[in-house]
């Protein structure tokens, strides 16, 4: 059976989740990570850089008589660095996020998930932080 949306989202979020919380614990570029639909107080970060990660499990469709299902998923990552630190600091964080996903194959249930497109970094509106974001798209087989 193909992976559920929740399984796909968990697989793609796992590199950012500490091992003690059931993740892979691969993220080391910042000490702080926030996730969608969580209540994080960024004031507790003491002005340190942080990333926000959102995962969308995407969509699925049947493509042949064997009921093969394929679909897509997306990871959105925004690096936040204090104003005045410069674009290079944010780009270093974005590059670390790209390295986690680029060319990698994930599994969820019986599904295979592979990165197929990484957007160019885009600057987001400032709210006291310099923000640079990327979107990484995946095929789900």
Inform me whether the pLDDT recorded for 36 exceeds 80.
yes
Distance, in Å, from the CA atom of 61 to the CA atom of 79, rounded to the nearest integer, reads 32
* 11 HSE (CA, 13 A, CB side): 24
Domain boundaries, the chain: 5-123
Instruction: State residue 102's pLDDT score.
Output: 94
Distance, in Å, from the CA atom of 133 to the CA atom of 141, rounded to the nearest integer, reads 26
Q: For domain 5-123, which architecture applies?
A: 2-Layer Sandwich (3.30)
Distance, in Å, from the CA atom of 120 to the CA atom of 103, rounded to the nearest integer, reads 16
**Residue range 28-48: mean pLDDT, rounded:** 88
pLDDT, tens only, 89-133: 999 999 999 999 999 999 998 889 999 899 999 999 988 899 999
Length of the chain: 141
User: Which DSSP category does 120 fall into?
Assistant: P
């Amino acid at each position: 059976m193909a992976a559920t949306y929740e399984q796909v989202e968990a697989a793609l979020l796992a590199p950012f989740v500490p091992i003690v919380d059931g993740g892979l614990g691969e993220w080391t570029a910042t000490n702080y990570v926030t996730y969608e639909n969580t209540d994080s107080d960024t004031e507790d970060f003491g002005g340190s850089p942080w990333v926000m990660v959102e995962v969308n499990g995407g969509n699925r469709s049947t493509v042949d008589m064997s009921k093969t299902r394929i679909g897509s998923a997306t990871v959105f990552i925004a690096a936040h660095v204090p104003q005045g630190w410069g674009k290079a600091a944010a780009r270093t964080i974005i590059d670390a996020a790209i390295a986690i996903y680029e060319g990698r194959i994930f599994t969820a249930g019986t599904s295979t998930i592979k990165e197929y497109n990484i957007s160019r970094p885009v600057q987001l509106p400032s709210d006291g932080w310099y923000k640079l974001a990327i979107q990484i798209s995946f095929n789900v087989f």
